[in-house]
């Protein structure tokens, strides 16, 4: 398990990709791409825009509080049988790191017990060039990360300094 220290989590508050709030721009950027959406609100926003994530990662929480029951019901209806993973708060589990590439290839849904935010890093490493990994920036919009070698190398550097 990789524990992500506060100094690294502080760096991660800066978006790793394009911060978008405009639904048309989000739809345009994601059009024709394989999308990995991390976070309950991010997944719900994508679905609202008519974008079905290839892989949806959620934990039934938003800002560490239980997700509104109506929103949870939307996720459960769309993803009735997600694969369960443990990922304690402030960490990146070895299992997620190990399985990320296969999970991205398979697609579907992952329900995280713990905290899903940092799992975006593992899925960025497991994604293919050209994929989009989307995650929420609270009260600002969605961050859309176009996957390429540059972003993967940045993440590897961050994780190696953890």
Alpha-carbon gap, residue 109 to 24, rounded angstroms:
25
Q: Going by C-beta distance under 8 Å and a sequence separation of 6 or more, which residues neighbour residue 2?
A: 91, 92, 94, 97, 159, 162
Alpha-carbon gap, residue 55 to 134, rounded angstroms:
10
Cα-flanking dihedrals φ and ψ of residue 82, to 5°? -70, 155
Q: Higher confidence at residue 14 or residue 127?
A: 127
Could you tell me the residue ranges of all domains in the chain?
2-160
Alpha-carbon gap, residue 74 to 106, rounded angstroms:
22
Structure tokens at 109: 């849904």
Whole-prediction pTM value?
A: 0.95
Q: Which of 56, 49, 48, 44 is nearest to 28 (CA)?
A: 49
Structure tokens at 130: 């050209």
Q: What band does 9 get if pLDDT is binned at 50, 70 and 90?
A: confident
pLDDT digits (tens, 9 = 90+) for 25-40: 999 999 999 999 999 9
CB 30 within 8 A of CB 46: yes
pLDDT digits (tens, 9 = 90+) for 133-149: 999 998 899 999 999 99
pLDDT digits (tens, 9 = 90+) for 69-85: 999 999 999 999 999 99
CB 128 within 8 A of CB 100: no
Q: Higher confidence at residue 158 or residue 22?
A: 22
């Amino acid at each position: 398990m990789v524990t992500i220290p506060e100094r690294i989590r502080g760096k991660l508050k800066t978006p790793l990709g394009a911060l978008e709030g405009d639904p048309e721009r989000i739809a345009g950027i994601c059009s024709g791409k394989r999308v990995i959406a991390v976070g309950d609100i991010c997944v719900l926003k994508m679905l609202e825009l008519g974008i079905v994530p290839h892989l949806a990662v959620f934990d039934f929480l938003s800002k560490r509080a239980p997700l509104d029951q109506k929103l949870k019901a939307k996720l459960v209806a769309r993803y009735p049988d997600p694969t369960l993973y443990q990922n304690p708060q402030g960490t990146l589990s070895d299992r997620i790191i190990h399985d990320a590439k296969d999970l991205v290839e398979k697609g579907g849904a992952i329900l995280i017990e713990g905290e899903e935010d940092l799992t975006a890093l593992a899925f960025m490493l497991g994604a293919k060039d050209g994929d989009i990994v989307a995650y929420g920036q609270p009260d600002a919009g969605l961050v859309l990360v176009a996957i390429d070698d540059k972003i993967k190398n940045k993440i590897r550097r961050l994780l190696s300094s953890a």
